[in-house]
Every structure is written in C-alpha cells, then in structure tokens.
Structure 1
C-alpha cells in the first residue's frame, strides 16, 4: 500500500486520551460531505487537504485530532489519521466510534463526487491495513446506524456491491515466474495489484510489467506500507504556481489560486482565517500573508500582507491549472441568452468535449446551439450541480472552472 504517515503530511500533535481499540466489528466508510473542488486533483494538494480537515476538526469542532483513522485520496494513497487501535470521532457517538474504524475517502458531495479506480484500491488497502490491526470483517457506510447522507450514494454503492473488500490477504513472499505466466496472472494469484508488484521489484520490472520465466519477484502484502515507495510528491516533481504579479492581488481576485495560497499559509502556521481559506481574496488572506512575510523575516512595509515575488516563490503554492490572463473571462449570463456567434463558443465547446461532456453531432462551432447548452449542462452536473443549477446556461463559477483558453483559434 502507498502509506503517508502523520509525519509525511505534517500532522499536528493530537490530544487523544481514549482507551485503545484492540478489536472491533470492522470499518465504516465516509466522504468529506462538502464540495471537493476539481482543482484539488493534483496530488501535491492532497496532504494539504488532509491538514485542512485536521484543522477543521481540532479548531472548528474542538476535537482531539482529525476524526478519521485513515483517509484515502484520489491517487490511492492512504493517509494515517488517528491510525490503528485509536477510537475515532467520526461514526456518530462513542459506541459507534469504538465498534468500527472510520475511513474517509477524499471525495465530496459536490465537485468531485466520483470514486476512481485508484481510490477504490486505496480504500481496499486501508481496510486491509486495519484488518491487520484488529479490525473485524464488516464494511459499512457511515449512514448504517447513524442518520446521515454520508458517504454519498456513489461511494455507498461500492460499500453495498462489495468492491471495497480487499479479499484474502497475502502476507508477502517470493515468487518464481514460470513459463506462460504474466504479471496479470501473478497479480490475481496473490490478490496484489500489478502496480505494487512493479514498485516492489524496481530492478527486475519496468512500467510495462513484462516478466519472463525464472525471474524471482517479491510479492508484497496488501495492507502493509511498500518499502521505498514515496506517497508524497517531492518538490522537484511538483509544479508551483507562478507569481501572478502584485497588481493582481490588489484587484481582490476570486480564483482557486487564492484558495491554494491560503492552504499553504495554513500549513506554514500563518493562517488567520475564521473560515476557509476560499477563492475570494479577503482581509483574512492579507493578514495571513503578512504573518508569512514576518516568518520570513520581513518587517514594516515589507510585511504589509500584499504578496511579492520573493515571498511568493518561497511559499511554493502548488499549481492549480490556472494562470491569470490565460483563460477567457466570463462573458456574463445574458450574453449566452443572445445565442451569440463567437470563437469563444467554439473554444468553450472544445473544452466541454475534453471534459467528456460533449453532446455534439457535429462541431463544436462558433454559433451557440442547443447542443452547446446540453453539453454545458453535462459539465454543470459533473461539478455536482443539479436541477435549475444545471440548466445548461453558463454561470461564473462553472465557467471559471471550465478554463476556456483565451487565444483558441
């Protein structure tokens, strides 16, 4: 399994004095219960999101620690929350918290609501890990035994159909490849994902996973951290947000860049937010950034809370897929109702197709049509909207997240 220990995601020290949970009935599955923004897909932001959840639980709710035993991101990495043998604070009450461990999938009630394959593998790994640490065999949803929508209908469907069960657990060992064997067959035999076997044998296997007779492979155990596998991206592999320019901040922008900046400020211990961080630049952002500037040793006018290039580069804000000025600004709701003919509509249609939301029999083209509206409605539903909020007429929030290129021909 890909396992991020508390030290890997820079967890705060807990204040948990509960009696250890040596055995229990099994695992309850959770989701975040809030919008999970699409720009958070970059794995460099997953640890940041886990830290943010811990802050919400400890500062917002007054809990002793992050509420969950383990958390799983879209990339299949299992984050250590309270960990094994600990009483969680997520299932509803003390009896429920001691009866089952709590595993939270980082998928939401809006935005990203899907459950990708790597996340399913990660949840299986988390359950396998907990079974190796006293957990029983039950796999249930948070809503089982407690009145809540958690973990959402999509994730709960996986609870019901059994796809989250890791199955029989192999404890690790060597395997000699025989004639006719493939990595796929070996994977099925030991119930261990092919990717994990490749990671465990870097000198024998490349990314193609091609094996040959006589090859000696180490087959790792499910629910055991893979040795040498780094679950968190290193700085060299992470793309950072370029400095948007000092003037941009004075315009009080609304952008995912501001949210990512705020998350980094919180992670650096400089957050002065009563809620958020969020996409709208605010006095709380400026106050937090001033704290960061002071942490770097600036003072006076150089620590006024307005970002400068030097302090921004040292903050290392992960790239969120957007640079100011790269994308078409929202033309306004009424503009679309005039059924415009514009290169902007062509660029919009191409982005909708790229997002898997295209409902075109030909095109897309520059003339606004019902096909554009049907495609845009699919995009709104992909973001988690429904009903009148997914009527196919663009709004500013959904437009900003579609990121229509400004110079599309």
Structure 2
C-alpha cells in the first residue's frame, strides 16, 4: 500500500478528540461529489493530491453546520493509487449520514467527482482496495463493502464507482486481497521507491525514468515495450526491469520490477539525483503579488507551489496573472508551516517565499 500519513500530507489538528470505534461491519465507498479536474489523473500531477486532501480537510473544519471535528473520511485515495490517512483506523467517520450509519461502517473517499474525472483509474481502484484491507487489518472492519448511497439518500459514490462496488470491489485484473508493496499473485508491482531523491516505479515521471528505459533496451531488456521507453513509468518498464533483476540472480520481491539502489547503479553505472539544493531566489517584494499583479514572479511562485504539492486550486496551471487560485494555494502552504500559520492570508512575504523555495 502506498500510504501517506497525516503528518506527511500536512494535516491540521482535529478540532476536538475523535471518537474511538473498536470495529465496524465494513467500509462504505465515497466520491467527492463535486468537479474533479480530469488532469489530476496525469502522473505528473500527483504532486497536487496532498494539497487536495488539505483543501477537503479545511472545508470540513470550516463547516460548522455539520460541526466536523476533522476531515470526514477515514481515508482518501488519489487517482495514482495513494492512500491518504484521514481520521484513520479506530476512529468513527463523519461521512456516512448520521451517527448510526457512521458507527456501522468506515468511509473511504476516492478523488473522483460528478464531472471532469468521473471514472476511477485502475491504480485508484487498487488504492481503494488497499484502504479497505488496511481498515480490516488495523481497524477491525468487517467484510461488508458498500456505497455511500446504500442506506442514505445520495448519489454518492457516483455511477462508475458504485458499479465497481456492486461487483464486489475487485482489484483490476482480478483478485480482491493483497495490498502493500507486493501485488496480488500474478499481478504487477504498482508501488514506488525513492532513490537518491528520485522516484521510480509505476506512475513515476521524469527524464530519469527515460534513462532507465533506454539503459534496459541497451542491455537487451526491452521486449515488453511496444513504443519504446518514455518519461512515465508504466507496467512495461516494470516487466522489463524485472527481467533485468532476474538476470542478476535476484528472485521473489527482489525481482518485482521496482528498482533497488544496487540494481539501479549496476544498470546505469551511477545513481542519478542527489544534487544539492539551490538557495532560494531573492524575494522580489510584496508589491509583485496580489490583485492586479501580472509578472514573471507570479508564474515562478505558481510553479513552485505545484512542485511542492500545493497547486490543487489551479484549473489551467500557473500563469503570470495573479488570481484567487494563487492566493488559495499560498494560503494552503502557509497553513502547512508552523512559522506561517499565524497569518495565512495567501499573500507571500519574505518568509513564505524563503520556505517555499527552500
């Protein structure tokens, strides 16, 4: 399971203590029920997912009509298959409709909506299944898997996701168990590793991925490519890398197609990454930001926000004209840092700029 803890995604503290729950009858599956940009599913946009979870938590904490104590879900799952810890295991959800429904089932929400991204990806379905297995093993969840609409008048979790639930929530390609780094028997590894600051494995993206693919082809381990290696890690990369690992005498989980440091260094002759961080560029001044601003500094700010995982409010990407999306993304970043939480106005000052670019 590709698990992202509360601290890793930058969760704010609960408003008050979450109610303990020893066990449930099972898990109910949810969707966001509002527009989700289709572009969020692109591998290069995974950096926006943590910011989206922070936004959802912030909206729930601000909803005093419902009086949420925290994000309503026990877990959220992004289109890339990562499971974000919400309230977590052994914590009663606030998402199923009323106290008795919340007591009966945990709640797992997939980042799909009623427009834009409406069909869950295969990685996402695997992630939802991972979350269910986690809540079973760590939270006492029973065997039931239902949709939010089962027992409550709502369209959630949407047509495509609910159809999957009604089929028994199978993992794509067959099977219903598993999770974790090793996929179900006969499946392909769908987790990632970070080596020397660079990510490898399914969904990873960058020139370093292309370099691995080219090196595999050069060593005659490219038979699974249909179009040749590219910058996004696919199942073909995994299969080719597994063939290479087996040629080194590796087996089992050591030959699952996801690089280890030793095999990667043998393949390339060196380990990419590990460059020292550049110092933050000089702060250009507060007058470069805010309503009416239109300059290259706004673009640089937006690009860095996306890089840091705080770009969830952009619908078309950063640009030179300051907009409300820039302010909201800066605010989210400020809320994630103890030094900035006292005045999260969404306008960068020298400290915000330095921390963002560090």
Q: Same fold (TM over 0.5)?
A: yes
Q: Find the counterpart in structure 2 of residue 27 from structure 1.
A: 27
CA contact (8 A) 1:87 1:97 kept: yes
Q: Find the counterpart in structure 1 of residue 80 from structure 2.
A: 75
Alpha-carbon shift at residue 30 of structure 1 (Å): 0.4
Shift of the 2–138 alpha-carbon distance from structure 1 to 2, 3 Å rule, reads same
CA contact (8 A) 2:40 2:79 kept: no
TM normalised by structure 2 equals 0.59
Alpha-carbon shift at residue 19 of structure 1 (Å): 4.1
Shift of the 132–16 alpha-carbon distance from structure 1 to 2, 3 Å rule, reads farther
CA contact (8 A) 1:71 1:80 kept: yes
Aligned mate of 2:167, from 161, 173, 181: 161
Name the SS for the 1:209 alignment partner.
helix
- Tell me the distance in 2 between the aligned counterparts of 1:40 and 1:187: 24
Shift of the 19–294 alpha-carbon distance from structure 1 to 2, 3 Å rule, reads same
Name the SS for the 1:68 alignment partner.
coil
Aligned mate of 1:288, from 345, 351, 355: 345
Alpha-carbon shift at residue 21 of structure 1 (Å): 1.6
Q: Find the counterpart in structure 2 of residue 385 from structure 1.
A: none
Shift of the 47–197 alpha-carbon distance from structure 1 to 2, 3 Å rule, reads closer
- Tell me the distance in 1 between the aligned counterparts of 2:192 and 2:81: 15
Name the SS for the 1:34 alignment partner.
coil
Q: Map of 1:174-323 to 2, 5 A cutoff?
A: 189=185, 193-196=188-191, 207=238, 208-210=241-243, 212=246, 215-218=250-253, 246=288, 250=292, 256-257=317-318, 258=323, 259-269=325-335, 288-290=345-347, 292-293=348-349, 295-296=351-352, 311=353, 315=356
Alpha-carbon shift at residue 128 of structure 1 (Å): 1.0
Question: Is 1:43 aligned to 2:78, yes or no?
Answer: no
Shift of the 8–235 alpha-carbon distance from structure 1 to 2, 3 Å rule, reads farther
Report Cα offsets for 1:221-268 as digits up to 9, x if no partner: xxxxxx99xxxxx999xxxxx99x959951689965342552232231
Q: Find the counterpart in structure 1 of residue 127 from structure 2.
A: 122
Shift of the 293–83 alpha-carbon distance from structure 1 to 2, 3 Å rule, reads same
CA contact (8 A) 1:9 1:47 kept: yes
Q: Find the counterpart in structure 2 of residue 66 from structure 1.
A: 71
Q: How many residues align?
A: 253
CA contact (8 A) 1:264 1:315 kept: no
Pairwise CA RMSD = 4.2
Alpha-carbon shift at residue 48 of structure 1 (Å): 0.4
Consecutive unaligned residues of structure 2, counting only runs of 5 or more, are 195-199, 202-220, 222-236, 262-272, 276-280, 299-314, 337-343
- Tell me the distance in 1 between the aligned counterparts of 2:163 and 2:73: 21
Name the SS for the 1:218 alignment partner.
helix
- Tell me the distance in 2 between the aligned counterparts of 1:97 and 1:248: 42
CA contact (8 A) 2:76 2:83 kept: yes
- Tell me the distance in 1 between the aligned counterparts of 2:107 and 2:83: 13
Report Cα offsets for 1:87-144 as digits up to 9, x if no partner: 0000001111111110000111112112111111111111111111211111110000
Name the SS for the 1:269 alignment partner.
helix
TM normalised by structure 1 equals 0.52
Consecutive unaligned residues of structure 1, counting only runs of 5 or more, are 173-185, 221-226, 229-233, 237-241, 271-286, 297-310, 317-409
Shift of the 54–218 alpha-carbon distance from structure 1 to 2, 3 Å rule, reads same
Greater C-alpha Rg: 1
CA contact (8 A) 2:15 2:61 kept: no
Q: Find the counterpart in structure 2 of residue 142 from structure 1.
A: 148
Question: Is 1:97 aligned to 2:102, yes or no?
Answer: yes
